[in-house]
Amino acid sequence: MKPGPPPSPPSPPSSKPFLTLEEQCDTLLARGLEIDDRTQAAAFLHRTNYFRLSGYLRPFQVDPAAGDNSFKAGTSLIQVRRIYEFDQHLRLLVGTAIAEFEVEFRAALAYKLAEKLSPTGYALERHFRRFGDYQDCMQRLDEERQRSKEPFMKHHNDKYSAMEPPIWVVVECASFGLLSKMMSNLKEQSYVKQIAGTFGLPQDYFNTAVRHLSYTRNICAHHGRLWNRQVVEKLATMKSPTHEISIRVGETDTYRIFQTLVLLSYLTRRAGSKSDFEERCLQLLSQHKDLLKHMGFPEHHALDRL
């Protein structure tokens, strides 16, 4: 008799056991969450993933940082779902506005670098300040070009395989984050100042704004929690006290999403966007005024504009 296949190795140890949807409902109920309809609750957990939902549960829990995951009295799943669904709508609005800026930014960066450095000057180390960052960018750019399934990239590789693609091709296959890193590493920062000027922003603020919007875009693209998040890639404090953004944000927290909304409102209005970002955003926020303080809004914000 032939020996059978070797036994499968055991699964790596897990920090948490598997819980069925019913057991997940039991856990929430045991911690004090009010659930009116278990069937609907289980369906919601199945669509959402308990782990994703946990970030929305924390504001309703007594002291989750200290390990007390019990819910404050009177907390219901309906309340949690309201915030979860609000965040979904907010991400769609923010993600769309960032996408509009991203397209314009890619075009402006490509034009300026082609004009000032030459179409392939971005590939030369002498144009950048930090050699390590330059090397990392070039490696990542090569990887992204190789992964690209775009017909224009295939055309370039087939016809001009021995040549670097021009910058106007590169910006269409490189990630937003990579282009942001490339721009901030330019030796001649006057080029960045000129690009920033096309958006009506000062250079020092613009560099952080691009990094911030790239980071926020990734949150939106991966369906992450946005509404009360402390954004790691924070915006710089606007140094010009007379700039529209500086006037609107005042002394508010640069880690919170309020400043992001003000920036996107400014950018979309300046670009003549037809997305009605500000109007749609204000309409959504007016239905959830109790959440504004968690987003960094100034106290008693009138919601007449961002």
Q: What is the pLDDT of residues 119-159, one digit of tens each?
A: 999 999 999 999 999 999 999 998 888 787 778 777 777 77
Burial profile 276-286: b = 16 or more Cβ within 10 angstroms, e = fewer: ebbeebbeebe
What is the Cβ-side half-sphere exposure of residue 140, based on CA atoms within 13 angstroms?
16
d(CA 74, CA 90) in angstroms, rounded, equals 26
Domain annotation covers residue 150: no
Domain annotation covers residue 4: no
Domain that holds residue 233: 84-117+180-295
Domain annotation covers residue 40: yes
Sign of the dihedral defined by the CA atoms of residues 22, 28, 32, 33, in that order: negative
- pLDDT for the residue numbered 32: 97
**Bridging pattern class, strands 61-63 and 68-71:** antiparallel
Q: Which two tokens stand for residue 123?
A: 């590939």
Segment 112-117 long-range contacts (CB within 8 Å, at least 24 positions apart): 112/191, 112/194, 112/195, 113/167, 113/191, 114/166, 114/167, 114/168, 116/188, 116/191, 117/167
- pLDDT for the residue numbered 160: 67
102/231 same-domain check: yes
CA distances from 24 to 40, 107, 286 (A): 13, 48, 33
Query: What pTM was estimated for this model as a whole?
Result: 0.91
216/268 same-domain check: yes
Sign of the dihedral defined by the CA atoms of residues 290, 292, 293, 299, in that order: negative
- Inform me whether the pLDDT recorded for 162 exceeds 70: no
d(CA 217, CA 235) in angstroms, rounded, equals 14
For the stretch 241-299, pLDDT in tens is 999 999 999 989 988 999 999 999 999 999 998 889 999 999 999 999 999 999 999 99
Domain annotation covers residue 54: yes
Domain annotation covers residue 157: no
Q: Please, which pLDDT band fits residue 199 given cuts at 50, 70 and 90?
A: very high
- pLDDT for the residue numbered 276: 92
- pLDDT for the residue numbered 191: 96
32/109 same-domain check: no
- Inform me whether the pLDDT recorded for 17 exceeds 80: yes
d(CA 262, CA 282) in angstroms, rounded, equals 11
Percent of the chain with pLDDT over 90: 79
The one-letter amino acid at 246: S
57/97 same-domain check: no
Burial profile 138-156: b = 16 or more Cβ within 10 angstroms, e = fewer: bebbeeebeebeeeebeeb
In the chain, the number of structural domains is 2
- pLDDT for the residue numbered 259: 96
